[in-house]
Chains A and B, each alone.
Chain A
Amino acid sequence: MSNLNMNRRSAMASLLALSATGALAACGQGGSPQTDAPAEVGSETSSGFFTASEMALIAALAQTIIPATETGGAVEAGVPDTLQEMATTWANEGVQQFWRTGLTTLDASLIEANGAPFTPMSAAEQATALGAYDAQVYDGEVDDGFYRAFKATVVRAYYMSEIGAADELAYEPVPGEWIGCVPLSEFPKTWAT
């Protein structure tokens, strides 16, 4: 591993020397690590398609699907904000309606199954409640296309986020070289890209 890092460093150094326009453009466009604080999510006020209470439900669901562990979870990774942005600027009316109706129905199903609303539950209760519902969906007992789409989007948004890609998984913006066969012990994590 140290060998590889060495190679990568020397590769970058020689590139800077030989490909001036290219490599400099490279650094200007995003070579430096981002150190922004995690995005604020689930805040009381909401400016976008989803209302504040919908955002709170989205945050609770997303964080239950991918919780914080030694790395940040969906909320720390800004997943609810990504969903808000997509619902507001990307989704057409049909998609917006699909999401709104789906959230409302999912909320109601969870209340019915657990006798209490999902958002205010403790994290442990949420994990039990959503875990049971998730199993019913993927075991084919419950048909909920919205939940499948929601979960897919949460997962995608998380592993494309900086925390999901670079902290939780392994991300190399400029690997420098390709090696077809390395011991898993050297690179034990899934590559984000």
Chain B
Amino acid sequence: MSGGWVAKELCEQGFKVAVIERGRAIEATKDYTDFIDPWDMENLNEKTDQDREEYPIQSHVYAFQSYTKQFWVKDKEHPYETAEGTDFTWFRGYHEGGKSIMWARQSYRMSEIDFEANKKDGHGVDWPVRYADIAPWYDYVEKFAGISGSTEGLDILPDGVFQPPHDLTCAEIDFRDKLETAFPGRRLIPGRVANLTEPTQEQMDLGRGKCQARNHCYQGCSFGAYFSSNSATLPAARRTGNMTLIPDTAVHKVITDPETGKAIGVEAVDVETGESRQITARVVFLNAGTIPTTMILLNSATEQAPNGLGNSSGQLGRNVMDHHSGARGSAVLPGHLDKHTFGRRPNGFYIPRYRNHTEEAEGFVRGYGYQGGATRDRWHGAMGSKGVGEDFKAANRAPGPWRINVVAFGEVLPNENNRIRLHETKTDQWGFPIPVMDVTYGDNERNMVRQANRDTRAMLEAAGGTDIWTSDDPETAEPAPPGIGIHEMGTARMGRDPETSVLNEWNQSWDVPNLFVTDGSFMTSAGCQNPSLTYMAFSARAANHAAELMKNGSL
């Protein structure tokens, strides 16, 4: 996700870039499975015993299917542990493009409210940037990536450079009106998603086409219609002639010069042969994903940096955050039985955060947003309902009622006791220490999830929903285990002070000036928005800053 941006920006600035990828190179024609019809799906798309054996963790991802498993790691080949009494679910794929192939593409800006949050309520450290610093970079990455969305004028969720939004369904419009009447502080808007609804010339020149409304995104997109490193940034980097992709090569250490303290390159292992090699560079960017990037830095300890490279603050590996997701609900919405939808929207609606903003909250700071959708029931209910014969068949042919589904995503606070560390004895098959995750949520997350569960039911009731289902009892609900949000971040945070942060305002290591980190590790706070767009904006900004420093001779 973020690495492609760095490659693109540096290549376009005229620098030679080696993109070191621990997994395989991706070929769309071979790896994408987006033209499979339902009748060609193996075993009715049911998981096999072998899937559960090889992918005991990954097989639980919503995007894991019989024909998408090529994008998820075999857990046994990539072990990790959790500290006693803690839980962490680590979803990932190791291949060119990483999670940008499998992401859910929701793309939201963080706002001034988010960048000020730590300073205001005292959790974590203050962000070294404000919205005005990053806004032009949001513009920049949105224009290139292609984000579909509507202009709403909300301070909590700034507008951006959008392609036309996906329509709300008739039932969603009705739900929106009832919601906004019952709760005047809440808004429901079309989801903002990295799918091209009106491709620009720049995007078409890269071989990208309009979204075909198939909703096959998790299988890869042969039309290049959603943003992935594979469809967008890497092709842009490649066409400059300045990029070399080095696949199947796992970086495990950043090498530094003991004299100058600067990075001189990386040490990496060929994952097939086990052979070790060094790759030198003037500047090193780490974009391995939050946990692997953190592991690389911890594993790069030297005499001068005994606790890990760039870790003079002691904050490296701390402040693991994710978004806790939950407070799910569904209901049948009344009416509109003479209406239907056409196509498959790779998107839904969004209800931006309102708690501790337009509405008060008790027992927690920050807040949560909702994602959801309302479409007509299809045939799946027939798998568990009464009836046989012609009447049964005829009933299934007509669409069912409109059913709404919602899920909340909440902000997790930075807490330095939530850590990643190197296992003291256990190593992976290449001989490198495996990670130990030690992450627990506190009262703020718990109280937030309970309020979200109350809100879910209240909203469905206010809209006249029937057959209401909610995932948890608000009095006893607990946040889902860390990692489930697949937004792990925060372990090499940016800050204003080298004593308390790992990176400065340019995603640049305080300790090692030619080392930059622009994957989720840099996040100083999490917001409640899906974070990838923010990673993109900071990556582009940091890469351009590094290019400037190289050009003026200071790096």
Contact = CB atoms under 8 A, between A and B. Distances in A.
Contacts of A193: 38, 344
B62 interface: no
Given A168-B393, A176-B343, A181-B341, A29 B207 contact: no
A110 interface: no
B52 to A, nearest CB: 10
Nearest to B214: A174
B251 to A, nearest CB: 30
B209 interface: yes
Interface in A120-162: 127, 130-131, 134-135, 137-139, 148, 151-153, 155-157, 159-162
A180 B44 contact: no
B337 interface: yes
B44 A86 contact: yes
A26 B32 CA distance: 10
Contacts of B338: 183-185
Interface in B422-443: none
B38 A165 contact: yes
Contact of A169 (B45, B388, B397): B397
Nearest to B170: A181
B393 A66 contact: yes
Given A82-B44, A192-B38, A183 B207 contact: no
Contacts of A171: 37-38
Given A21-B207, A22-B223, A178 B345 contact: yes
Contacts of B35: 25-26, 29-31, 173
A15 B212 contact: yes
Contacts of A135: 386
B168 interface: yes
Contacts of B398: 188-190
Interface string B26-49: 001100101111111101111011
B176 to A, nearest CB: 12
Contacts of A85: 43
Interface string B367-387: 000000000101100111111
B487 interface: no
Nearest to B374: A180
Summarize B's interface: helix, strand, loop or mixed.
loop
A182 B489 CA distance: 41
Contact of A192 (B378, B387, B388): B378
Contacts of A152: 383-384
Interface centre among B212, B387, B394 (most CB of A within 10 A): B212
Contact of B396 (A23, A31, A177, A190): A190
B383 A156 contact: yes
Contacts of B388: 64-65, 127, 130-131, 134
Contact of B213 (A127, A175, A182, A192): A175
Contact of B166 (A89, A90, A180): A180
Interface residues on A, range: 35 or more
Contacts of B345: 178, 180
B340 interface: yes
A26 B222 contact: yes
B48 A90 contact: yes
A190 B44 contact: no
B36 A30 contact: yes
A90 B43 contact: yes
Interface residues of B, number: 66
B457 interface: no
A25 B28 contact: yes
Contact of A179 (B40, B167, B392): B167
A178 B166 contact: yes
A191 interface: yes
Contacts of B207: 18-22
A65 B209 contact: no
A190 B399 contact: yes
A82 B170 CA distance: 37
Given A64-B389, A90-B46, A23 B209 contact: yes
B44 A18 contact: no
A186 interface: yes
A107 B204 CA distance: 60
Nearest to A12: B212
B353 interface: no
Interface in B306-361: 337-345
Contacts of B386: 134-135, 137-139
Contacts of A82: 44
Contacts of A86: 43-44, 46
Interface in B288-313: none
A136 to B, nearest CB: 10
A25 B220 CA distance: 13
B457 to A, nearest CB: 25
B340 A186 contact: yes
Contacts of A52: none
B390 interface: yes
B410 to A, nearest CB: 27
A26 B213 CA distance: 15
B209 A22 contact: yes
Interface in A18-43: 18-23, 25-26, 29-31
B214 A173 contact: yes
A74 to B, nearest CB: 10
A69 interface: yes
B173 interface: yes
A103 interface: no
Contact of A161 (B39, B172, B390, B397): B39
A65 B392 contact: yes
B224 interface: yes
B92 interface: no
17 contacts: A14-B210, A19-B222, A29-B36, A30-B35, A67-B389, A69-B394, A90-B48, A134-B386, A139-B386, A159-B382, A175-B212, A175-B214, A175-B342, A178-B166, A179-B341, A182-B342, A185-B338
Interface of A: 4, 11, 14-15, 18-23, 25-26, 29-31, 64-67, 69, 73, 82, 85-86, 89-90, 92, 127, 130-131, 134-135, 137-139, 148, 151-153, 155-157, 159-162, 165, 168-169, 171-193
Given A169-B397, A186-B342, 7 more contacts: A14-B209, A25-B32, A134-B387, A159-B382, A161-B39, A190-B397, A190-B400
Complex A-B, nearest 5 residue pairs according to Cβ-Cβ distance, in ascending order: A180-B167, A138-B386, A175-B343, A178-B343, A152-B383
